[in-house]
Amino acid sequence: MTSLATHLSAAEAAELATLLATSPKGGDRKYSVFYLLHIYYRRTRDINSLGTLMVDFSETFTEYPTFPHLNSMYLRQFDTLEKTERALEEARVARDRCPSHAGVLNNLAEIVAVMGEEGFTIPLGALDEALVSISRAITLGQGYPKFYATKARLLALKEEYTDARRLMRQAITAEDPTELDYALRVGDYQAHMLEILVQKFRHEIGVEMSHAMDDVQGHRTKVDELL
């Protein structure tokens, strides 16, 4: 489905949107069109059309097993703690419904990565939960580059910077340069690589500052003893 959405033209997407709006029945075929458009709007970053899609058809498709996944992906478009926490809740529902869906597993892991990078409080145990999910996604996804990038971001949050950078480089190398969104994807990976380096430097500076403060306190103690 993702590959198909990647190669959709704007005209084809418009035709599908018309088909979805005018089709009198629901059912699997209509949900497939909804799913395809959901991916297309996210990949083209057409948030207005995505919002309209969710408002118009959420009630129609809420019982489908993968709907919580799509709702989670939609909620992620809003950079607030409340929406991100709701996105994580929906991602967990989707994971429980579709435990062997690599995209569902990656989404859960990616939300936790975003929470850490944005400075939101990560729920207790969620980082390890995310690592389990993304490791499973990598196994199911047969080398899908984005999954390595997600794991890299999680490892950076655990201060495992060497492995994080290695996996991010692996993601960059594995991307197909003939894909239409190649430049966008690689650009995202490079931005994440920079973020990992920033996290690493902040950590190192923090450690050095802590050692320096300990040294200062040690000298003060010695001076107090001499006095």
The three-state (H, E, C) secondary structure of 111-175, written as one string = HHHHHHHCCCCCCCCHHHHHHHHHHHHHHHHCCCHHHHHHHHHHHHHCCCHHHHHHHHHHHHHHC
With a cut of 90, say whether residue 71 has pLDDT above it.
yes
Cα distances from 23 to residues 15, 40, 64, 97, 190, in angstroms, run 12, 19, 18, 27, 42
Does 225 or 28 have the greater pLDDT score? 28
Write down the mean pLDDT value for the chain.
Answer: 91
Grade residue 84 by pLDDT with cuts at 50, 70 and 90: very high
Phi, psi of 197 (to 5 degrees): -65, -40
With a cut of 80, say whether residue 139 has pLDDT above it.
yes
With a cut of 90, say whether residue 181 has pLDDT above it.
no
* Residue 123, both tokens: 């729920």
CB burial readout 33-60, b (16+ within 10 A) else e: bbbbbbbbbbbbebeebbeebbeebeee
* Residue 8, both tokens: 């959709």
Predicted TM-score of the model (pTM): 0.85
Continuous segment of H or E residues that includes residue 182:
helix 182-226
Grade residue 168 by pLDDT with cuts at 50, 70 and 90: very high
Can you give the pLDDT at residue 227? 59
pLDDT tens column, 2-48: 777 777 888 998 999 999 999 877 789 999 999 999 999 998 889 99
Mean pLDDT of 95-122: 97
With a cut of 60, say whether residue 219 has pLDDT above it.
no
Question: What is the distance between the alpha carbons of residues 134 and 165, in angstroms, rounded to a whole number?
Answer: 16
Can you give the pLDDT at residue 215? 60
Cα distances from 11 to residues 8, 19, 31, 33, 79, in angstroms, run 8, 12, 20, 14, 30
